[in-house]
Structure 1
């Protein structure tokens, strides 16, 4: 039986790892639960994320921040005294595994809601399970497809940025400053494909020249054969659309090959966890997009409050970008539960659709037609000097404020007006 977090500062690092390792499993009761017991039972949020695999560091941050949202909800009295719990599963960055774990969360653990994921393809597998069973899923990973009518349902919400928003913001910044000749190194799966599509779409506004797109499989460890080919194209900009360890390795080898001497490297998502793992040299001068950076705490009171609570709970650590998405994704569901005064699915959906929130970085809201969170996009540059501390890794160059004009239209997504 998993112990619940009842105080904001009560989740130690050891307890977190124990919770994650055990999958935060609650024993399933063999007996039918009465309606009274159901109203008093723990509010369960299933949380499938890739704890093992190339995105493991980011997934650990997601769990930490999700647990913080749970702890704050419980400390504030829950839903009329009814507490919440995060039930974690390792989806192993695999759509089939994610579907199996999600089905287990819904049918065995009887979760009320699901949040999580860290892959475009994986979140679609989770979404297929939850929408078929009428369970709200708030995704905290980038995807364009999840908002499209073919994958969307009324139960689908998307706290994360999507590739169109992210690559659009980075492209608008970079193509205006660094040149028109662009080459692409792309992870050959949905995340990479959608990011490149976004870059090419915004590139039309700047008349960029697409010099070529070299694609690589997920989990590539050697880019030594493709980097010379990309250099030979003599691009002004090299756009590397991958993530996690793939991104770390690609940037380290690009640095070793001297790519940065003549080319500006941009990435759609510049991950805090990857930057810390790979170091300043590999990421030096790289520009990318981010949903969150802890360093904007001097701009937003919500950022400062989130940072301080996270520091208190986790021995002075600061939250990362994907951690912030997890915090927002879990907290939004819990705040909607409070607003609805119930865990009834339709009432919580209505509360989420009406939600205007600022939990960690400024104002956000869910667009009605596709439940995409409308929010800011930060353009950040990796630091290699003048760092105030080990976590001071990015400089915020620009911010695109929340604007539905930067999203694909509802009609484009297939939603009827």
Structure 2
């Protein structure tokens, strides 16, 4: 290049001082250093909000678990349809825990470490949920349980990351006992599924019965997933109770009721099933369940008086050929729905802000107002006492229960924070 050309180009370039060169170099170095951080922030803002959902899709509680997954997905779909969290969509990752604590722990650990979930919701057994809770609390992941348990609220198992959306046995059996014992008599027998859920239900009935002077005349345990109840029912029949409390769940509840009906027990005593299940009632038929009284978190006929129940039913019916949702399905809907409400209120998926938001949350997903008690994160909610209808009284195939009483939402029906081992 000739000297004249160099001179012309140089005259067009700005003069650059040494100070400006050093300043520019420093800014460039800062930008390079911040690059990965800015990338990670942008990535976090775009990534989906992942919710792990371990439930027993196979096994004796499979119908309830599948229903919970369907209803949880509705909550996710509604959150996404509303725009998510500033455009961040939610994603439900369903896993089969096979109703086994060890399997549940493995699946939960995979969800956290491999799938990088932000939250976990699910489980459908008192012992399984404790296994899930042990994994999540050790890793600082919020867990919303949607199955009945007393122990999960107790200080030895609880952590700040633990939330319990489902009713607990103390609430459920307590409500049913307070309703039934004054009406049907004081001689009480128990048929008990021999694991945590069954024994916690018995404890709830006994505590409720103290005020009514009940006399326990038989306590008969059976293994989980029993098919033949003939070894157990004669022991109960021989005790001549006024009331039989069926402290079991799922197919165990259905099979024991069918066989108890065959033994003629329903003509001799009032049957109570603290968690009286919609799916099992429909599967078991009107004859086996007729006249049985129990408790529930939900029955679809609440739509006649509760706006949120009608809204929930309407969206479920649209996706399920006109059928209404079940009681345990509603737990899946509310567990995930309330969690996502907390995320929206916190404006983040970070655990501590979401915990604070959930502790302050008042929510009405399907049954009226609920909230989490701060000391143990138990959802305070109404309990409905239901009675199974005879076939002739059913308006349609889904009209299986009458709601005969409501225990309104109140902390007074819970065990106290001190009883649970909490300081406040």
Common fold, TM-score beyond 0.5? yes
Contact 1:68–1:313 (CA<8 Å) still a contact in 2? no
**1:1-400 superposed matches below 5 A:** 34-384=40-390, 385-400=392-407
Q: Secondary structure at the match of 1:415?
A: coil
**Aligned partners of 1:306 and 1:285: how far apart in 2?**
28
Instruction: Report the 3-state secondary structure (helix = DSSP H, G, I; strand = E; otherwise coil) of the residue aligned with 1:176.
Output: helix
Conserved 8 A contact 2:146-2:164 = yes
Larger Rg: 2
* Count of residue pairs the alignment pairs up: 387
Between the aligned partners of 1:136 and 1:224, the Cα distance in structure 2 is 43
The question of whether the paired residues in 2 share the 8 Å contact of 1:248 and 1:278 is answered with: yes
Q: Tell me the equivalent position of 1:412.
A: 419
In 2, the alpha carbon distance for the partners of 1:96 and 1:113 equals 19
Distance across 2 between alignment mates of 1:381 and 1:114: 34
Superposed displacement of residue 389, structure 1 = 1.3
Alpha-carbon deviation of 1:34? 2.3
Tell me, yes or no, if the aligned pair for 2:181 and 2:209 is still in contact at 8 Å. yes
Structure 2 stretches of 5 or more lacking a match?
Answer: 1-35
For the residue of structure 1 that corresponds to 2:393, the secondary structure is coil
Partner of 1:23 in structure 2? none
Match of 1:12 in 2: none
Which runs of at least 4 in structure 1 moved beyond 4 Å after TM superposition? none
User: Is the 8 Å Cα contact of residues 164 and 407 (structure 1) preserved in structure 2?
Assistant: yes
Mapped partners of 2:134, 2:345: distance in 1 = 27
Higher helix share: 2
How big is the shift at 1:212?
1.5
SS of 1:225's equivalent?
A: coil
**What secondary structure does 1:395 align onto?**
strand
In structure 1, distance between residues paired with 2:101 and 2:274: 23
Stretch deviating more after TM superposition (93-102 or 220-229): 220-229
Q: Which runs of 5+ in 1 are unaligned?
A: 1-30
TM-score computed with the length of structure 2 as normaliser: 0.90
Q: Which moved more, 1:366-375 or 1:377-386?
A: 377-386
TM-score scaled by length of structure 1 = 0.92
Check whether the contact 1:181–1:210 (CA below 8 A) recurs between aligned residues: yes
Deviations 1:348-370 (A, max 9, x none): 10110000011100110000000
